[in-house]
Amino acid sequence: MNCRLPVGVPSSKPQPRMLHSGQRDERMKASAIEFRLRMAINMVIVCLGFWAPWIEAWGIGRRIPLMVWLALELGRMGVASFSIAMPAVIAAGAIMAGVGAALRVWGAAYLGQGTVKHGQMKAGAVLADGPFRFVRNPLYIGLWLVFAALSLLMPVSGALFAMTAVTIFLLRLILGEEAFLSGQLGQPYQEYMRAVPPLIPRFRTALPATGRKPRWLQALLTETTPIGIFAALAFFSWSYNDRLMAKVIIVSFGLSLVTRALLPDAGKSTGRGE
């Protein structure tokens, strides 16, 4: 579901086709197969989070959505009544999903869907446009926020599992990609790493834009899944109809698969897979 790196300072090294380990802890970096199957792995995490088979099998936890549990806990602690806490939790989830979807669309517009959906990691040139001027991994940050919003619909123990698993997996992908890019692009990417933080955006930057043109329509079409999750929470969760929200999310995911398959891989190849 992710990716990054085009126009800018071209790499003098040939473009490799597989993920390669660098100097960082080998045990923490994602392998080539993890990168290739990242979308499937994310889907498995989501499915296990909603299924939470350990609830019936071992009696661990209860099958109550996280957003309901949070609202009940806020009421129990005297912070707010359930009638106030529940809309507040839904609004917080919708905001997280909205910010996450916006980051995904913004990053994908500059990165290009050919790189976002690519099964192998590539190294082209350093991209310093759009959100990549302020943070190195905007697509992964956006994905994490969308996951956090989606976890509100999961059972509590399923949400805990899903957020733990996806956080570890995304960190592994980031470590693997950045070691790969640093090794393949050399000094230009290392200077980029010194200028731009990995996860916490720095909104004041002296980094010049490289002039890449965004493809907004293509980004919107390929990022329909996070947009659908935002719509489910922002517009359909107020009915408290779990089936309706699930239908919205499933349809948006299906549309994303169709558009990713049909849209051409326009633009130059880039060097990041998010």
Q: Identify which of 123, 174, 124 has the alpha carbon closest to the alpha carbon of residue 144.
A: 174
Has residue 77 got a pLDDT over 60? yes
Task: Identify whether 19 is part of a domain.
Answer: no
Task: Identify whether 270 is part of a domain.
Answer: no
Q: Comparing 139 with 5, which gets the higher pLDDT?
A: 139
Task: Identify whether 38 is part of a domain.
Answer: yes
Task: Identify whether 41 is part of a domain.
Answer: yes
Task: Identify whether 100 is part of a domain.
Answer: yes
Task: Identify whether 269 is part of a domain.
Answer: no
**CATH number for the domain harbouring residue 71:** 1.20.120
Q: How far is Cα 188 from Cα 202, in angstroms, rounded to an integer?
A: 19
Task: Identify whether 187 is part of a domain.
Answer: yes
Q: What is the pLDDT of residues 180-207, one digit of tens each?
A: 888 888 888 888 898 899 999 988 877 7
Q: How many domains does the chain have?
A: 1
Q: How far is Cα 134 from Cα 128, in angstroms, rounded to an integer?
A: 9
Q: What is the pLDDT of residues 57-75, one digit of tens each?
A: 999 889 999 999 999 999 9
Task: Identify whether 188 is part of a domain.
Answer: yes
Residue 50 burial (C-beta neighbours within 10 Å; 0-12, 13-18, 19+): middle
CB 13 within 8 Å of CB 184? yes
187-195 vs 156-185: helix crossing angle, rounded to 10 = 130
Q: What value does the mean pLDDT of the chain take?
A: 83
Provide, rounded to the nearest whole percent, the portion of the chain with pLDDT above 90: 55
Q: Identify which of 224, 250, 245 has the alpha carbon closest to the alpha carbon of residue 233.
A: 245
pLDDT score at 270: 47
Q: Identify which of 56, 58, 90 has the alpha carbon closest to the alpha carbon of residue 74.
A: 90
Q: Which range marks the domain in which residue 128 is found?
A: 32-262
pLDDT score at 124: 53
pLDDT score at 40: 94
CA dihedral defined by 163, 166, 167, 173, rounded to 10 degrees?
Answer: -170
| CA distances for 114 relative to 35, 119, 244, angstroms | 15, 10, 32
